[in-house]
Structures are given as structure tokens and as C-alpha cells.
Chains A and B, each alone.
Chain A
């Protein structure tokens, strides 16, 4: 394991009586793409500001390569930021903007010219040096903001919702470019967004936040497949979340039936919630079905049909299906045991991870 580049230890931030960050602990390793994901006001930007040095934390330590940097001013930190509204200086040309930090550092003129040209080339705007900021489109401004930050060769690049002002198509394109850029430069990216699609697409690791707390951290696949609670399951992707009851290990009951599942380590008869992703549900004939539902409406989404249905107990179901269904038709639903994910109420990440470890070992033993 490499030396962590950024560590937050027990970081708390209060404004008057509001607590914005509650005991945040996180570690960023060198050269990875991290994302802070959460709804607006969850404190994700506050974490970014604490690392950038625009804000003092109330409690706890911010460490950079093992050194405490709480009191180090922003201009002395080896991190750079791409701002949400880009914050490109309107009284300077593109090249002057990109050269700004290097000029302050008193880097030699020829080197500045060379590095600015290289940075502009990296963001595919090599010929734009002489332009005024007002002449650039939103996407171009975005790239210049990135060029201005990476020309400083920071160890960590902080990105504060940089894609939120772009249209959907450009946003998708920039996701590829950002990921590509991060891998080429090999520096740590800390990306802040409220868009789960962006987070899933680009990150090595995601921190899901809500109300000043990190609820869950892990790879996009882990978080998508095994959300820790209702909030995470609902926030990341689309999901069917139903109240259920744990019968025994690997047995859960909901909708009046008992099903095999892949979760264990929960006391018998404990009330829980189950998550099934819409794409894990398969339409079938009522005879082969685990559940029977009636189709309410369906929307054609291009590559799949999004189907809304209701079961006999009145629970709503969302199904993604390649094949269309008939409105009002009673159809069967089937799913595999591993598509069911059980969530306990109020379980913390550490407990969740520990529980997962116990029965995953058990599974491994069974395989042997």
C-alpha cells in the first residue's frame, strides 16, 4: 500500500450552531481517482475547501503526505482546485490565466511558455492562448480551468462539481477526458459531485455523504451492489427498496414470501430492508415467477423499457427490461439470490464491513 497523500482525521466543522462536518475520517492514496458524492448541502464541498485551505476546520487534522497542514495557507499547499464556476480571471487571456501561478512562482519565461503550451495541448486547446475568456464556450472554459490547475503540477487536484454547468453530451465526453487525464498524469483527483452517474463512471473509490457524514466508501461496484442503507441505495442508481424480515442466514421474507438471499450475520426475525436493482428483475411467466405483478405503465428509454408495476400487496416495482410488456398485464418476476441485498437499519460502515467479512469467509470455506 502506498503512503496516503491526504488524510482527514476526526475532522469536524461548525458554523455557529450548525455542524457541517461530523467526525470525518478519510484517506486518499496517491494516484487514484476519488469522488465525494452526496446531495447539495451534505458537506462535500466543505471537505474540498478544508483540503484546499480556504477554510479552517473546527476540530481534527488535515494531513498532506503525513504532515499536518491545518495552519498552512492555501497559497502554500501543493494542491490545486478546479472551481465550479471555473473562476477564470476575465481580465487576462487564456495563456495569461494558465501562466498565472507559474509567473507568481517566478519560473523563467521560456519555461512558462513551454509549460503553458503543454497544458493547453493536454486539454486540446493548443491554439487558444491568445483568446479572451469571454470568447470561450462553457466546455472550453472548463478545460482552461483544468489546464490552469494542472500546469502547477500539483500532487492532488481538487475538482468542485466541474461538469455541472455543461450539457449532457459534453458532460459524458468530459467524464472520459477527466479519467484519461488522471491516468496520464498519475496524480490524485478528488472530485466532488451530486451526480451518481459521474461518480460511478470515473472513480476508483467513492465516498457517499449525507448530512455531514461519510455513510459508505468503496469502489463504484461495491457501493452499487451492496449499499449500506436506504439512503445510499436510493441515491445511487435506481432501486426497489422493500421492508423485509430476516428469517435466518441466507433467508429473507418480504411481500408475503420467503426468498433465498446472499446475506448473513443478522439476528433471526430482525426487521430489515431489501434492495433489488431494476435491471436484476427479469420478466417471466406467472408459473415460473417468484413474484407476480401487474404492469402499470412503461417508458421506452432507447436501450431498455422502464416498467412500473404493482404487486398484490400494493408495493411499487421498477423493472428494466429489454422486451416490452402489456399495460395491465399480470406478469411474473424472477431474480437470483445474489440480486437481493439486505440492509440493516442504522448499521455503520465498520459494522457492515465486519459482518460482510464473516460470512464471505464462510462462503469461501463452503466452496472448499
Chain B
């Protein structure tokens, strides 16, 4: 009887186990494996050597991190107040649905839509002309790249923050007010610190994908900024240097692990057991 139930429980693991093995473990293993081969199929560490000695790659890495940081920062600055505001509304589920809705549309479609909006004769420039500023170069600038990337990432930041706000026991807010805190003090000392896990989850959901964005850099950013994502694409599709592409991939994976560790749950303050 016991072995039967045990076997059954194992059976439930099969779909997830297959998925894990085929789509997570195998690709990562392949990337790591590939990164040790040069163009002549010799086992070597030269890819890593090249990466860490080349100013181009290091600059690319710095660029990727910097832009991912900017995208995450702007996304956060917009998402926290938005999540907070939506949480106070009466029909919050409806407003939340409106936030989620754009994520159902393919990212490429959204990118092309922005090409239309930002182009010389696009909506944005029509507006600028209307208010007397005149048409500007909007498309293919770094600013438009950050703008569109932020737009795309916002829902992924709003959701975890909204959930954290929703999980917050309103008694904490009452307790804070009761002890003499103003609305702002309550927010600063109670609400924000207690919803920080939501913000961290949001950072994970936004920063890591932003590191490897590649379509937007070309379509909206005009390839002015080459990020690591673009570099990987180039190596796999254009230069056919899979070894180098994999090496950059490994660097990205390491970067993701670092971000996870930095935003992971730290030990509770004052939690020294005696």
C-alpha cells in the first residue's frame, strides 16, 4: 500500500522531471559544454580568455548591466506607485487585468508598433510638431530603447508588488497609525519594508531578462548599444562562433545567479537565536 502511494507520487513528478531535464538542465549543460570549444573544435579555455581580455566584450557587459539597471530602475519607479494605487481601487481585479493585458501580445508586435509610433512621421512626432517643437529623431536612440523596454517590463514588476501589498496585513498599517505615524511615515517604516520581497521578486523578473534583451536593441535602439544578448545572437547566427556565444551565455547565467543571490531572502534582522 505504501509503496503504491509512493510510486504514484513519483508518477506525478514525471512531466515536471522531463521538462526540467529537457528544457533546463540539458540546454544549460550544452551551453557550458560548447563554451569550451573554439572554432576548430578543440577543447580550450580560450573563449573565456578572449572574453575577459577583450575591451569590447567587457564594455558590452558593462553596457548590458547598465541598461538593465536603468530599465529595472525606471520600471520600479513606475510600478510601485502604480501597484499601490491599483491596490486602493474598488475594482482592483479589473485594473490589474488591464495591466496584464499587454503581456498577452507578442513582444515583436509591440516593438513594431513602437517603430510606427516613434518614426519620423509617427504619432509621437506629429504631437511634437503640433505643440511646436517640431519633429525629432526618436527611433534608434538609447532613450527610446529604455522607454520601450520599460514599457514591456512594467507588468512583470507590478504583479509581484501588488501581491505583496495584498498580502500585507492591514493591522500593521492601523498599528503604525495608532502609534502616531503619519501616512508617509507608515509607508516608509512599515508598508515599504514589508513589501520589499515583492520589489525584489520584481527586480528578478525584470533585471535578468533585461540583461539579454536583443530584438529591441536592434529594432528600437538601432544597434547603437550592443548588449550581451545581441552578441550571443550574432555569434550563433552570423559569425557561427558557437563557442564564444556559449561563453557569453555562461557569463549571463552567472550574472543571473548573482542577482538571485543579491535579491534573495536575507536573514531576518535581529534573528540571532540564543
Q: Is A81 close to B, CB under 8 A? A: yes
Which residue numbers of B lie inside 8 Å of A, CB to CB? 169, 171-172, 174-182, 185, 189-190, 193-194, 268-273
Min C-beta distance of B198 to chain A, whole Å:
13
| Binary CB contact string for chain A from 218 to 238 against chain B (1 if under 8 A, 0 otherwise) | 000000000000000000000
20 further A-B contacts with Cβ under 8 Å, apart from A75-B179, A89-B172, A93-B269, are A52-B174, A54-B174, A54-B177, A75-B181, A80-B179, A81-B178, A83-B171, A87-B171, A87-B175, A88-B175, A91-B193, A100-B181, A101-B179, A101-B180, A104-B181, A130-B270, A134-B268, A135-B271, A149-B178, A149-B179
Cβ–Cβ < 8 Å partners of B194 in chain A: 89-91
Cβ–Cβ < 8 Å partners of B189 in chain A: 100, 104
Q: Can you report 30 A-B residue pairs in the complex whose CB atoms are below 8 A from each other?
A: A54-B174, A54-B177, A54-B178, A74-B174, A74-B177, A75-B180, A76-B180, A79-B178, A80-B178, A81-B174, A81-B175, A81-B178, A83-B175, A87-B175, A88-B175, A89-B176, A90-B194, A90-B268, A91-B269, A92-B269, A96-B270, A101-B179, A101-B181, A104-B180, A104-B181, A104-B185, A130-B272, A132-B271, A149-B179, A152-B180
Find the B residue at minimum CB distance from A129.
B270
- Say which size band chain A's interface belongs to: 20 to 34
Min C-beta distance of A245 to chain B, whole Å:
51
Cβ–Cβ < 8 Å partners of B268 in chain A: 90-91, 132, 134
Could you tell me the distance between the alpha carbons of A210 and B235 in the complex, rounded to whole angstroms? 76
Contact pick for A85, options B171, B178, B179, B272, CB 8 Å: B171
Q: Is A148 close to B, CB under 8 A? A: yes
Could you tell me the distance between the alpha carbons of A100 and B173 in the complex, rounded to whole angstroms? 13
Contact yes or no, A75 B178, CB < 8 A: yes
Contact yes or no, B180 A105, CB < 8 A: yes
Which residue numbers of A lie inside 8 Å of B, CB to CB? 52-54, 73-76, 79-81, 83-85, 87-94, 96, 100-101, 104-105, 130-132, 134-135, 148-149, 152
Contact yes or no, B177 A73, CB < 8 A: yes
Contact yes or no, B269 A74, CB < 8 A: no
Name the residue in A96, A100, A130 with the highest tally of chain B Cβ atoms < 10 Å from its Cβ.
A100
Min C-beta distance of A8 to chain B, whole Å:
19
Min C-beta distance of B270 to chain A, whole Å:
4
Name the residue in B178, B185, B189, B270 with the highest tally of chain A Cβ atoms < 10 Å from its Cβ.
B178
Contact yes or no, A87 B174, CB < 8 A: yes
Cβ–Cβ < 8 Å partners of B174 in chain A: 52, 54, 74, 81, 83, 87
Min C-beta distance of A124 to chain B, whole Å:
18
Min C-beta distance of A244 to chain B, whole Å:
47
Cβ–Cβ < 8 Å partners of A91 in chain B: 193-194, 268-269
Min C-beta distance of A218 to chain B, whole Å:
29
Knowing A93-B270, A134-B271 are in contact, say whether A100-B179 is a contact too (CB < 8 A).
Answer: yes
Find the A residue at minimum CB distance from B274.
A131
Could you tell me the distance between the alpha carbons of A135 and B269 in the complex, rounded to whole angstroms? 12
Cβ–Cβ < 8 Å partners of B269 in chain A: 91-93, 132
Name the residue in A73, A79, A91, A152 with the highest tally of chain B Cβ atoms < 10 Å from its Cβ.
A91
3 nearest A-B pairs in the assembled complex, by CB-CB distance: A101-B179, A93-B270, A87-B171
Min C-beta distance of A132 to chain B, whole Å:
4
Could you tell me the distance between the alpha carbons of A75 and B268 in the complex, rounded to whole angstroms? 28
Cβ–Cβ < 8 Å partners of A87 in chain B: 169, 171-172, 174-175
Cβ–Cβ < 8 Å partners of B176 in chain A: 89, 100
Find the A residue at minimum CB distance from B185.
A104
Min C-beta distance of B114 to chain A, whole Å:
40
Cβ–Cβ < 8 Å partners of A76 in chain B: 180
Could you tell me the distance between the alpha carbons of A54 and B170 in the complex, rounded to whole angstroms? 11
Could you tell me the distance between the alpha carbons of A73 and B179 in the complex, rounded to whole angstroms? 12
Contact yes or no, A89 B175, CB < 8 A: yes
Could you tell me the distance between the alpha carbons of A148 and B179 in the complex, rounded to whole angstroms? 8
Cβ–Cβ < 8 Å partners of A92 in chain B: 269-270
Find the B residue at minimum CB distance from A83.
B171
Could you tell me the distance between the alpha carbons of A94 and B177 in the complex, rounded to whole angstroms? 18
Contact yes or no, A135 B273, CB < 8 A: yes
Contact yes or no, B270 A131, CB < 8 A: yes
Find the A residue at minimum CB distance from B178.
A81
Min C-beta distance of B117 to chain A, whole Å:
43
Min C-beta distance of A122 to chain B, whole Å:
17
Could you tell me the distance between the alpha carbons of A89 and B176 in the complex, rounded to whole angstroms? 9
Name the residue in A52, A76, A88, A90 with the highest tally of chain B Cβ atoms < 10 Å from its Cβ.
A90
Find the A residue at minimum CB distance from B174.
A54
Cβ–Cβ < 8 Å partners of A130 in chain B: 270, 272
Min C-beta distance of A47 to chain B, whole Å:
15
Could you tell me the distance between the alpha carbons of A88 and B178 in the complex, rounded to whole angstroms? 12
Min C-beta distance of B86 to chain A, whole Å:
23
Contact yes or no, B178 A52, CB < 8 A: yes
Min C-beta distance of B85 to chain A, whole Å:
21
Find the A residue at minimum CB distance from B186.
A75
Could you tell me the distance between the alpha carbons of A54 and B189 in the complex, rounded to whole angstroms? 19
Cβ–Cβ < 8 Å partners of A53 in chain B: 177-178
Contact yes or no, A85 B182, CB < 8 A: no
Find the B residue at minimum CB distance from A54.
B174
Min C-beta distance of B171 to chain A, whole Å:
4
Cβ–Cβ < 8 Å partners of A54 in chain B: 174, 177-178
Cβ–Cβ < 8 Å partners of A96 in chain B: 270
Min C-beta distance of B268 to chain A, whole Å:
5
Cβ–Cβ < 8 Å partners of B273 in chain A: 135
Contact yes or no, A75 B171, CB < 8 A: no
Min C-beta distance of B197 to chain A, whole Å:
10
